[in-house]
Structure 1
Amino acid sequence: MKSLSFAVCVWFFSAFPVFGQLTRSAGWQTLFNGKDFTGWETYLDRPYAKDDQPKGAPLGLNNDPNHVFSVVQEDGKPALRVSGETFGGINTLTDFENYHLRFEFKWGTKKWPPRLDRPRDSGLLYHSVGPHGTPMLWMESFEFQIQEGDTGDYWGVMNVIADITAQKNEKGNYVYRPDATPVTFQDKTPIGRWCIKNPDSEKSSGEWNTLDLYCLGGTCVHMLNGKVNMKITDTRHLIDGKAVPLTKGKIQIQSEGAEVFYRNIQVEGIKSLP
């Protein structure tokens, strides 16, 4: 496995020289052991109920009676299965700063209300801080969107702020452009908290995709299947009305109404970006 990882790294940095000068520290650390959820915790909202039905209390922390999160064998390898049946997330117990996160994901076939007629959805939330059960459900964080056709989009969860070089498209939505003027994204402002990735490099549903996230200081780069499709800078959040840097936190993976599989979840420390 060690020699295979080395070969993959050599191939990766030869094929994509934009990151060829990246400096590593301690090497890869496996976050998912393929057996259980050691090093992780779960948080689930209330089970779905129609508008004419009473709504229960959130299931809360490490209470997963329907096994929304489970360890399975998928394509002959251990994987984290997220059923999507109940909205929520699974997150690391450890905070991470200045790192390169990599994993593979692919969509399953199951979908759940209220998103039966919507694209399959999940998400990677990083620099996650604060409590579970916020008005947006998840911890305050920056999102690397994982959604059919939209993987790589940026979303801000709660009181986070980030700058992205972006331009409006014909629909009036902001799209990432490396050579555009920086725009500040923040919820409850005219700009809002969403920026569309560019380009779209997701594989067909049912195929494995490789996701890479690079975070160094206040800069984070979204990469899917070998292509950069988002870069955010000056990551920060509001504390008592004042914007302060937010450059580290937990890693969350969302459950949002669709079955999805994750595997080979690993992280390495980095000291510089080219």
Structure 2
Amino acid sequence: MKKIVLLNAVAALAISAMLLSSCGAKKESATTASTPAADNTLTEKEKKEGWVLIFNGKDLTGWHSWKRDTAARNWIVKDGQIQYDRENDRAGDDLVTNGIYENYELQLQWRISKGGNSGIIFNIQEDKKYGATYQTGAEMQVLDNIDAEDNKKQNHWAGCLYDMIGDATVSKPVTPGEWNQVRLIQNKGQLTFYLNGIKTVDVKIGSPEWEKALASSKFKSRGFEDFMKVQKGKIAIQKHPGSSGWKNMKVREIKS
């Protein structure tokens, strides 16, 4: 009888050990599955959802400087980031995607130096008759709200639709040098911006709200007749005062 009891006890311990091992494996698998992708890569879930990287983390494949065939020397890749290199400030202009995008969601991270200024410009028509990206494309502002020179109007602050929509209630960038998270969505004329999880803009192109904001903007006063007339185009990151960094840049087409 003692032998039977002993064997039963040993068997119970073995089963317990197997169950614990199994639970541990499941826990480890779940942890692994929830681990975010490394910088400038996509998870399997993101790939299935249709996300595509527009920056590979290594070089400027897929990008060029405004109205050039390749990227100029003021844009470099370092430490897995696109960086605006002020040492070569005169070497080129805004950095523009080769691809053209219409209904999509763009996600990326940016950081700016103290006092720095840049922007994400979209719906760009790259044609010789235009002198700058912003003559046809609108801008989601990138800024150090505290120390940048262009901080006098609240709709010039980080995350705003530049010179049109946004204010201090929604513009909440992190400390200069740290990473901000952007979601920019354009879907059938509806523009929705998020900065660090806060919705900063939600407007329909051509709506009364849009037309009112446009009428009082510099785009109207400067006579940019083709500003946002085409609701698809290239995307640019802006050459501007201060140093900027960019990573984890990806686009998902909206098909519905």
Q: TM over 0.5: same fold?
A: yes
Is residue 2:185 matched to residue 1:201? Answer: no
2:191 equivalent among 203, 220, 227: 220
1:126 match: secondary structure:
strand
Structure 1 CA distance, aligned partners of 2:228 and 2:160?
23
How far off is 1:208 after superposition? 0.6
Gap runs ≥5 in structure 2: 1-31, 38-46, 146-156, 211-218
TM-score (norm 2): 0.63
1:70 equivalent among 46, 70, 76: 76
2:248 equivalent among 244, 254, 264: 264
How far off is 1:29 after superposition? 0.4
TM-score (norm 1): 0.59
Per-residue CA distance 1:217-251 (angstroms, 9 max, x = gap): 1011110000001123125999xx79995221111
2:192 match: secondary structure:
strand
Match of 1:27 in 2: 50
Match of 1:94 in 2: 99
Name whichever structure is richer in strand by fraction.
1
Instruction: Using the aligned pairs only, state the percent identity.
Output: 23
Is residue 2:232 matched to residue 1:248? Answer: yes
Structure 1 CA distance, aligned partners of 2:245 and 2:52?
20
- Choose 1 or 2 for highest CA Rg: 2
Provide the alpha-carbon RMSD of the alignment. 3.4
1:65-214 counterparts in 2 under 5 A?
Answer: 67-73=73-79, 78-84=80-86, 85-86=89-90, 88-108=93-113, 119-131=115-127, 134-136=130-132, 138=134, 140-149=136-145, 150-155=157-162, 194-197=164-167, 198-214=169-185
Gap runs ≥5 in structure 1: 7-23, 45-59, 110-118, 156-192
Q: Which amino acid aligns with 1:227?
A: I
1:194 match: secondary structure:
coil
Q: Which amino acid aligns with 2:158?
A: T
